[in-house]
Structure 1
Amino acid sequence: MKCTLLLLTPLLILPAVPADSSVDYDDYDDYSDNGDPPAPPVKGSIPSTADIMRTFAAERRTLNGSNDTVWVVRERASQLLTGPLTTATIPALYTLVFVIGLPSNGLGLWVLATRVRKLPSTIFLMNLAVADLLLCLVLPFKIHYHFLGNHWLFGEALCRTMTAFFYGNMYCSVLLLTFISVDRYFALVHPFLSKRFRGNGFAVRSCCVIWLLVVVAMLPFLLRRQTYPIQNLNITTCHDALPLESLNDYFFYYFVCLVGLGFVVPCCVTVFCYGSVIWTLIQTERRYVHAAVLTGLILLVFVVCFAPSNCILLIHHSEYLQHQSSQLYIYYMVSLVLSSCSSSINPFIYYYVSDEFRAKVKRVIYCQKVKDRTFSGKTSQELLSTSTYSPSTRTTSSTRNSSKN
């Protein structure tokens, strides 16, 4: 409950702008686009320290004798915002994610919705495909933004929407992957206990709660300004240069709760569930070793894709809280690309790995009217392995061994 209140705090409280936080400059016209900041401030004025919590450092400066305000970034941020890493490499990687993720998730969602029997695991996978597909659909805006030199042309409203969709669908994928691991854990480790609650109704309600929580958690991105024109670079950034008008630290606690509830807790649950599943598979029969290896791969992809961005985010915020400066945002931008890669990897490790699922995809592509057999949902239900492991199989095997003895 306490973390929930902290998540909603930025919606209720807006930071006050200190009256003496601006900088007056006599000769601002001499400020070149690519040069250093203008001459030292007029004697008696206090330099602005509008460093930001998530992004590059941006400073608000007021021209001498007027109320006009301009925004500038420091030299290192200028080099990164105009350098090849953010204007070529990052958008190129996003393009690759988009090219792979859009068709794979779209086709996978179509097959799951039309050719697969509706089981709890199928419902979770359909929602995962929707979240990954929505993430891919906002990538063209980020690609255009970065290729244009981190210059946003589509207005404030669309920037807020794009930012909320990007982060929202990323954390939604994390939560859905966690629930899939929990579903696998009870189905394989505690099959008889899971019969009491594990059903389609439970899966639908869980997915609805996940989407609702993500929407609430993303409201701060929708309600706060995200675009700022950077005077010394002649660009308008979208979420990459945001001012911190005051040093109120509730922003820090908001993002700590977001990362904690959106990744740290789900990651611990996922590691425990898949670890228990792997141990159970290894302890049964050798023919399930392949399923155990595949489960380990799923866990590895989850940790590698999402851990770097969230860990860097926490360290980045901590440095700003203690020192009001940080050099980690560029690494965070790169790690976000890695997180988005999950949307293009998930389809191949969660359902395309199944021979039966691939056969259904081929029928859809070639418009074959052959009547499909009832699909049991084994792509997720049984850890996506050709040598599938199921509770019923384990029970039958145990019964046979007992009868032999």
Structure 2
Amino acid sequence: MIAGTDDDRGSPPVLPGERLQEAWRRLRAEKLADRGFRRRAAANPLIRPIATRSAGRLFDLAAGFVYSQILRAVIDLDLLGRLESGPKTADDLAGPLGLSPAAARRLLDAAAALDLVEARSDGAYGIAALGSVLQAEDGVRAMIAHHDMLYDDLRDPVALLRGEAGETRLSRFWPYAGDAAAPEGGARPASGDGEADGTADAYGPYSELMARSQSFVADDVLDVFSFGDRNSLLDLGGGEGVFAEAAAERWPHLEIRLVDLPEVAARAESRLRAAGLAGRVSVRGADLFDAPALGAADVVSFVRVLHDHEDDAALALLRLAHRALTPGGEVMIAEPIAGMPGARRVGHAYFGFYLLAMGSGRARSAVELADLLARAGFWNVRTRYARGALPLAVTTARRRGEGPIWRL
């Protein structure tokens, strides 16, 4: 169709550049579907690197589950920890790993192929650069060990997408996700599989996992967002207080309050007391969806909270933050978002399906998050990116009509 004719009235005009781009996409799809073309491309020294790279990416997609299970074996057997004292051979490791020398060598070679370890010329294996990073991040290892629930829930991804999978293990593991119609305090965990039993003990496993994985998030967020000109922080859904603890240590002048479900708040109080911060950080147990009076703060934070909830619930939380801010204050949201530059798979692929299996929430784009903020009465939305073990967007906004557009 030609833009502007009667056949496409009401549709946006198609620009010449867009028509050329679409024609190129059709030609590319046609050529790449031709096996003969792909073989000729692989034989051409000028474009061979592109063809080889594309073939490798396709194989990695097909083999992704195998790679993840190798990674799980490395974690379960503490292979990297056993190499911290220095390189070892498969024979050295076989006994401690509980494997035959041949099986130990097979695991070491697989881990080397994934750049977690590296083979030495003398037949020994040592920790590679990527393995060093993994070994240093306890929270990442905790998430990997936790993935058996996710993989179990993804056995039939089509049934999950159609809503035919029934109750999932992740929905039982995360108590507030067990009933999407009544998030947070409105839902109590269902029984089964040991993930949740309807008691306060059910909040322990997920709170501990969040605390361990939050440890590598908190510093990354604080590297992006400064509290230098702020005096108070209200951390909503703050879990066991890992972010609050990091903020207190980074900014000694900051008055900090944390609110989470009563079962989780009790764990936060214990943690912060052990860290010597009982006098610096106050903790309150409350259901945020009951809209309690929380007092005022210069910054209200949601660290890995909003993406766990559907739009209506997320909007209610943002409106709660709007009411709690001091004049000129900011809401700060730190979580993975869809379409992050350099980390596109994190939002739509990983968290898209993780949250689907969990039964609540979704990964939003920067535009979608800004739209929610506008509906809650915010403006001056700014998004920055933290580049740590877990790519995150740090989004800030002020109440409409307040404050300068930018701050450091």
> Would the TM-score normalized by the shorter structure come out above 0.5?
no
Q: TM-score of the superposition, structure 1-length normalised?
A: 0.22
Higher relative contact order (CA 8 A, sep 6+): 1
Give the number of the structure whose residues are more often helix, by fraction.
Answer: 1
Structure 1 or 2: more strand by fraction: 2
